[in-house]
Amino acid sequence: MISTLERRSEMLRSAAADGLDLVVIGGGINGVGILLDAAARGFRCLLLEGDDLAVGTSSRSSKLIHGGLRYLEGHEFGLVRQALAERATLLRVAPHLVDLRRFVLPVAGGWSQRLYIGAGLGLYDGLGGRRGGRFRALSPTALADRAPAVRSDLFEGGFEYSDGVTDDARLVIAVARTARQLGARLVTQAQVTGLLRAKGRVAGVVVKDRMTGDDVEIPSACVVDATGAFDVQLTDSASAASVIRSRGTHLVIARDRIASDVGLTLRVDGRVIFIVPWESSWLLGTTDVVHDGAVARPTATPGEVSYLLHAANRSLDVELTAGDVLATFAGIRPLVGSPTQAPGPVSREHHIDERTDGMLVLRGGKLTTYRVVAAEVVDRVATQLRRAVASSTSSLPLTGAAPRPALDRLSQQLQRRGLAPDVASSLVSRYGRESVDVADVAARWGLQGRLLDHLPYIEAEVWWSVDHEDALTIDDVLSRRTRAALQDRDQAEAAAGVVADILGAKLGWDRRTRLEAVTAYSESRGEYAVPHAEGRIREAVAG
């Protein structure tokens, strides 16, 4: 049986020998979306990622699949309508990964403010075609019942509405796996270092395989740069769109620290702050500040932590401190606009730059709208290839998809096989139909044990992530295949040795390599650290 490492090397060798229709650079949601759309049209395509799938912004979002209520205030009705239509599409093609949750928006300021916000939510529901459940007004008593943590002395009732919630990294992985099942090739730890050219046009890429050190030249008729906020130093600065890098930071808070049955949407100093129910925690975010540091693995600042805690404490009957923060994470939004603009007002619309040498460069966009953005990019690829094939991804179920009743039955089936209820539910919510296959691996190889005592991740998921999901490091497993590093960063470090043993058995690591892998993971824990929450609050909301 071919090993994981042999399989990825063979993908690079065969791509170099065969030539391709399309190479996609970047393994975030836009990159894998483009790969899937191209594969569904029958194009020979390959995605190259220098690190891991979803390692950047696509694992560091607010986990929302939504239209964006705040965009209505900027009159971006087209963007909101498109995003809400895509929310409905994702609920249909990935019901195991995306589900609707109820959110409460408390209101202060009297009847005029209630009428204003009510009109906005009515428009939001209307643009969504009523596909997300109707909003409803809440009296002060109803607000206290739904969200006891909201301060009754500040708010005069509010509104309840629906929006989608997902695990962003798992969504990326599902899209990538669906593309691969349609014949696409995908290699992580493969850094694009240059472009091949022929007759003044881009004709492929030069790749360094970071696992072997080998350099490989891969010819391709089309190349798309979907690296987002990352600068791969391949673009022509004279023709590329100007990118504003905006940092959005979130705090992970234990669920029992905020008394609420629903998510919360708070308006603080003219900005929107979300408190999103996610896994066993709340996500509190986000900030929107110009980022001028390293793009790879950004971290929260003390000012951002202070700002978010202050925002929550002003609106809720809580006294959150840095001690309540289980972890933090920061992502970089690649916004298209003038370098002199503040990030807040900049549109989240995407931009496709088709260079004179034929290379396509994608910047901007939202997690929710990745599919339509990908279809637009591949439409341009199809034009270059002179192959008129339409996108079909709006009706293409993602790997693991099944109707909600079938998913519920799967959870019950796994429990009858001896899995704890929380483990069974977690497997189904992340793997869908394939949760049965993961459970089979657990039974066959004796990998039913939990990675962390209080979280529902099991050892079989490490095995599965290597064989099926391109995981190659401890961080890949604990940060993105599971989300243990975000839910309990200290206990996740304690699980690193177990993960290394399973990874090592799959990847051929000796004892020294396993110890080095554990050390490397431990040294990377600062990525999700909780910095001392002091500093100027305005630092986090500049602009």
Q: Residue range 79-86: average pLDDT?
A: 90
Half-sphere exposure of 64 (CA within 13 A, CB side): 25
Report how far residue 272's alpha carbon sits from residue 69's, in angstroms, rounded to the nearest whole number. 9
Compute the distance between CA of residue 96 and CA of residue 305 in angstroms, rounded to an integer. Answer: 32
Q: Look at residue 75 in the predicted model and tell me its pLDDT.
A: 75
Asked whether the whole model's pTM tops 0.85, one would answer yes
- Residue in 273, 270, 287 with CA at minimum distance from that of residue 343: 287
- Structural contact between residues 223 and 196, judged by C-beta atoms closer than 8 angstroms: no
CATH 1.25.40.10 matches 4-57+170-242+345-395: no
CATH of 98-164+243-336, one of 3.30.300.280, 3.30.9.10, 3.30.930.10, 3.30.420.10: 3.30.9.10
DSSP string, 458-485: BTHHHHHHHHHS---SHHIIIIIIS-HH
Give pLDDT tens digits for 134-183: 899 999 999 999 999 999 999 989 999 999 999 999 999 999 999 999 99
Rounded to whole angstroms, the Cα distance separating 31 from 62 reads: 19
Domain ranges of the chain: 4-57+170-242+345-395, 98-164+243-336, 404-528
Residue-wise pLDDT for 474-509, tens only, equals 999 999 999 999 998 888 999 999 999 999 999 999
State how far the Cα of 235 lies from the Cα of 239, in Å rounded to an integer.
8
Identity of the amino acid at 436? V
Query: According to CATH, what is the number of the domain 404-528?
Result: 1.10.8.870
Cα 394 to Cα 369: distance, rounded to the nearest angstrom: 11
Average pLDDT over every residue of 277-290: 93
